Amino acid sequence: MFIMNRNLLSLLFIVTAFTAAGQSPSKSKANRPNVIYIYADDLGYGDLSCYGATKIHTPNVDKIAAAGIRFTNGHCTSATCTPSRYALMTGEYPWRKKGTGILPGDAALIIPTDSTTLPNMFKKAGYKTGIVGKWHLGLGNAVAKDWNGEVKPGPNEVGFDYSFIFPATADRVPTVFLENHHIVALDPNDPIAVDYTKKIGNDPTGKEHPELLKLKSSPGQGHDGTIVNGIGRIGYMSGGKLARWVDEEVSSTFLAKAEGFIEENQHKPFFLYFAMTEPHVPRMPATRFKGTSGLGLRGDVILQLDWAVGGNNEAA
């Protein structure tokens, strides 16, 4: 198991992928180890006790560091969401391709479906491939997409056999989960619409009704759009009331789906890309973690991240 974060990306994923791709599917499972790639969002190396943090303790991440390789001189292709993920999936420098900046939540897929990707290489080596978590590389062929039918192309079209994601970031609409090509729990009588240029629907916004916010947003970051679960988001959406997530349950939902993929594929070689949302904003941890770090909500969600890395098991 490897843990990386977008601020400390290395070329380890390229080495791993090429090693896997160089093996024939006829090779035994013993020669094709399972690979779980854990990707944190906005986590700095100073946030982990295995890198010297003293005010917070991350025992599960520390166990991985103690049993593996800890990078102390890492270099990333980008320190922001979309471009770093584009580089991970394609092996290309994002600054060499237009359109790889931070995407809105309604963006079209920016990875060509006929390109060589990390999951495709694992598939060619006989692996089952899955992604659980944050995507943020666009979906569909157009911005004006229909969210109420099949939403594609997406992760499945660039190499993942299974995907359970949210489209962009937790602070952008639409605030829904997609399992493969469909929004989870969508009521056909309450269709979803998304717009990043103007307000749509009758939902209150953070700009108009700041008194409804349970989490105050930072000024100037655009978190004054549609309010979902008491949190102002970037962009506007209407509909999909039953499908909208509760922030406090996102981490445990992703963990359950990741564990389900592992359980289902335990007898065959698999590659799982577990793209966590912590500690990216909005920081709204589950109740069990609120106030536990003594470092505010950011510290609390880092503890939540460490718990998820442990897979529901407390570190000794």
Positions marked active-site: 81, 136
- Nearest alpha-carbon partner for 56 in 307, 312, 313: 307
Whether a cis peptide bond, with omega within 30° of 0, leads into 167 is no
Q: Is 143 helix (H, G, I), strand (E, B) or coil?
A: coil
- Taking the chain, what is the end-to-end CA distance rounded to the nearest angstrom? 18
Dihedral sign, CA of 29, 30, 31, 36?
A: positive
Place of tokens 């001189």: 73
Cis peptide before 279 (omega within 30 of 0): yes
- Determine the Cα–Cα distance for residues 237 and 227; give it in Å rounded to an integer: 9
Collapsed DSSP state (helix, strand, coil) of residue 276: strand
Beta carbons of 118 and 156 less than 8 angstroms apart: no
Continuous H helices in 139-246:
none
